[in-house]
Structures are given as structure tokens and as C-alpha cells.
Structure 1
Amino acid sequence: MSRAVDRKEHPLSMRLPEADIAIIDRAAALRGRSRTDFVREAAVRAAEDVLMEALPIRMSPTGFKAFVAALSRPASAVPEMMELFRRSAPWETGGAGNES
């Protein structure tokens, strides 16, 4: 009697329109990935996004108090962000990051 072996990989089959396959293949080629790797990565990323939206965030009462306290403090300027806001956009000046 042979012993069942736990498989690390499980097949997944999909039927897709030719246009979808063409888009997937083009994107996979741009990333230097196989179709399988590209689709697997995209599917897992999408699944993680859905799960992160659905799962509640849990924290201790002490952690929650610290979180609320941080949100309640007055905002303070971040010098690096203020510098970015002072700069003209590249499309406004004709160059990358040039000052007006």
C-alpha cells in the first residue's frame, strides 16, 4: 500500500479569451516572467488585498490608546514634503525638478 504524499503544488486551470491571454503574455514578457508565474503572482496579490480589506485590525487596549493619541495630536510639517510642495512640477517647467 503506497502512502499518500502531500503535494506542494496544486494545478489550477482556467479558460480565458484569446485577448486576455495576449494581454497577460505581453505583461509577463515585460516583467521577464512566465505566464504561470505572472498569473500566480497577480492572483495571490489580489487575494491578499481582498483579505486585508476584510480582516479586522486587532490590538491591545494599550496599543489602541497609543494609536488614538497619535491620531489626536496636531499635525506637524514634514520638511521633506514641504520642499517637494515648493518645487514646480516637471511638466510646468520643461525639466525634471527645475525650480521656477
Structure 2
Amino acid sequence: MATTTKSERLELRLTADQKQNIEQAAAISGRSVTEFSVPLLVEEAGEVIRQERQLRMSKQAWDSFNAILDEPAKSVAGLADLLRRPAVFSE
């Protein structure tokens, strides 16, 4: 298994009690503070990101959304002409 070089640091401000509890928990589990903390921080960060990106809606809202998607496409005035024009970013 390949190892990734760890070149970044993250500094935290803690109370003395927080630091002591983390150090004690790490020692009890036989790990360094880094080995103890990083997986927990990464897991929590992933969960926060997942929740932010997840679309949530009620069944009624979902059904309404799907009904709109199932409707035939509507013609938008001028859209076909716009799509035929050369792109403004073309060279």
C-alpha cells in the first residue's frame, strides 16, 4: 500500500481540558494525537460536505419535480438563434 507524504499542518486552539482529554484518549487507544484525531476530523468533514451536497425534499416535492421533468420541452423564443451564433470566446 502506497503512503502519501503528509506535508500540511493544521493548528488548533484548545482549552487545557480539551487538550488533556484528547491526549488521554489517544494514549488509551495506543495512538499518537495525530493518529487519533485526523481520522475523526476527516470523517466529520466528509459528513458535513456530504450533507451540504445532498438534495433533500419531501415525497410531494419530489413527485412535483418529476412531473415537471416529464412535461414536453417548451420552445424558448430566440434560443435557437442564440445557439447558432459564434461563441464570444472563440478565436
**TM-score, normalised on structure 1?**
0.44
Which is greater in Rg? 2
